[in-house]
A and B are shown apart, each in its own frame.
Chain A
Amino acid sequence: MSIHVDGVSKRFGDFVALDDVSVDLPTGQLTALLGPSGGGKSTLLRIIAGLETADTGTVTIEGREATHLPPQKRNVGFVFQHYAAFKHMSVAKNVAFGLEIRHRPKTEVKKRVAELLELVHLDQFAHRLPSQLSGGQRQRMALARALAVEPSVLLLDEPFGALDAKVRKELREWLRRLHDEVHVTSVFVTHDQEEALEVADEIVVINEGRVEQVGTPDQLYDAPATDFVMGFLGPVTRLGGAQVRPHDIEVSTDPGQPGAVPGRVVRLLRVGFEVRLWVETAPSEEPVSVTVTRAHQRQLALGEGSAVWLSPTSDATRVDAVV
């Protein structure tokens, strides 16, 4: 295990940011710390980096007890949401910073910086100042800067959070490819479940200072351990006392299946290739949300007021609601 966090707690005044968190982050993988804002995931990352100290518990990096080491002795790379570029230094100087601190020979620094700038596609911007780069370019520079010192772990705190939607998507695909090339153990924090599902090898879901579940994207999506994980990773609705995904509900126009729940379509909304239905099953309950394909909706001639019978598909992901 590359990073081993054991029993870490952290309070800020009365607020409990982390409550007895233990987690193992495997070597060479890209792990996502996923959870809502204020859930403690950034705090955990900053404790691993040494930018924050834990009240209790220990952090071990590559087998080395690191709980009380200052950040500069942990050999971790850290990428900040708002880039934290050294504004008065050129792009090349930014990337060279860690190497110059370590007094590496000039020729080696020059060579390594050139390699890294090529890796992040910024070779033609070496002499620009960070203020002359776009947000995406600045974040790639920050990544090259963190990778320059050959860290044992690369930590990224909401690395794409400050970028617009299109650049964010490009950059996360690029990060995945980069990781497949460089293979450095990486941990990134995100509150975007799509980002985590798309990029990460493994996801740690953190909520209210606790680890909810750890697993691969498939495990988490198909077998969520808790209500919260299920709800956080994708849309959910409630059918017959259980949490189900809206696209895991079978709709029929006759009471064929035993145990199917009868209802009436109260609202219908078409979004591109899918159609969202709201089905009222009992007057006192929230309507059940169902997603079907456009073709399916046409075939069944579904409209507002149609009588339908709902049942979860046989392979549906479901969590029985704790009432």
Chain B
Amino acid sequence: MARAQAPLTRDPAPVRWGLRVVAVVYVVLLVAWPTYLVFENALKPGLGAMLDGLRDPDVAHAIDLTVTITVYAVLINLAFGLTVSLLLVRYDFPGKRLLSALLDVPLSVSPVVVGLALVLVYNGQDGWFGPTLERLGYQVIFSTPGIVMATVFVALPLVIREIVPVLEEIGDEQEQAARSLGANGVQTFWRVTLPGIKWAVVYGVVLALARSIGEFGAVKIVSGNVVGQSQTATLVVEETYQNFQQQTSYAVSALLALVAMVSLVVVAVLRPKEHKS
């Protein structure tokens, strides 16, 4: 028992080094080395050739589509996430715990199932809601709205789970003070609440962004994977890889990995500075 309570630094050197080696080896074998290989393979023919691969019309369209989908999905999740977080932390209502539990469903349910569920509801032939929408002129499944919905769904909890603990921690006294000083609800939100949770929002957005760019399973089912139309970047990776166009596959993979890594690094670099000042 006494052993377990001692601070980690008191552990004998072999234990400390042993733990470090395990951690480093684990991360290298599982994350760093495979990711590095993607970049190495993508760049093997040279940077110019890699960029040429990305300029292929079908690939470029897929990347465009991914950007569009990601922008919509992140904006929707940001607006929805802020609203739901405020609702969960600042208000009491019946069914609050149920709502909170439901918000975690996207984390536990496989994206493929999500895709299938959306198809069942919104498909134009025998969907529960799809034919009505299609008669009104909106095609959801096999089209951009469906892909956005699938992406929003899988990235749904990320913004909320970042904001909720911070909102709870800062409490509502600052907001009450703002109200007593003459600020209305909107002014209080922009001047007091939002600056207080700024970094949680940024972090949530980055996580949602990375998740949205990388979503595959749900999107594959919902989009129909039509080349040059509803095919996203992750779907290009799979298809080109299976069609023996590995070079294109590596190039797109490297791009996807790079965007996610850069956004995480930028936030990690910015965030501690804010705390020190």
Contact = CB atoms under 8 A, between A and B. Distances in A.
A66 interface: no
Interface in A228-255: none
B180 interface: yes
B176 A51 contact: yes
B230 to A, nearest CB: 43
A71 B195 contact: no
B224 to A, nearest CB: 47
Contact of B174 (A84, A101, A149): A84
Nearest to A78: B180
A298 interface: no
Contact of B177 (A50, A84, A88, A102): A84
B182 interface: yes
A51 B182 contact: no
Scoring A80, A84, A98 by chain B CB atoms within 10 A of each residue's CB, the highest score goes to A84
Contacts of B184: 70, 72
B52 interface: no
A72 B177 CA distance: 10
Nearest to B180: A78
Interface in A85-114: 85-89, 97-98, 101-102
Contacts of A87: 170, 174, 196
A86 B196 CA distance: 8
Given A87-B196, A88-B195, A71 B179 contact: yes
Interface in A7-31: none
A77 B179 CA distance: 10
B16 to A, nearest CB: 34
Contact of A88 (B178, B182, B196): B196
Chain A, interface residues (CB within 8 Å), range:
20 to 34
B181 A101 contact: yes
A148 B183 CA distance: 14
A87 B197 CA distance: 11
Given A82-B173, A84-B173, A101 B187 contact: yes
B192 interface: yes
Interface string B168-210: 0010011011111111100100011001101000000000000
A75 B180 CA distance: 7
Nearest to A83: B173
A74 B182 CA distance: 8
Contacts of A129: 277
18 contacts: A50-B180, A51-B176, A70-B179, A71-B176, A72-B179, A72-B181, A72-B182, A76-B180, A77-B180, A78-B177, A78-B180, A89-B195, A101-B181, A101-B182, A146-B180, A146-B181, A148-B181, A149-B182
Interface of A: 49-51, 70-72, 74-78, 80, 82, 84-89, 97-98, 101-102, 129, 142, 145-146, 148-149
Complex A-B, nearest 8 residue pairs according to Cβ-Cβ distance, in ascending order? A98-B181, A84-B173, A78-B180, A84-B177, A71-B179, A88-B195, A101-B182, A72-B182
Given A77-B181, A87-B174, A146-B180, 9 more contacts: A51-B180, A72-B181, A76-B180, A84-B173, A84-B176, A86-B177, A86-B192, A97-B181, A146-B181
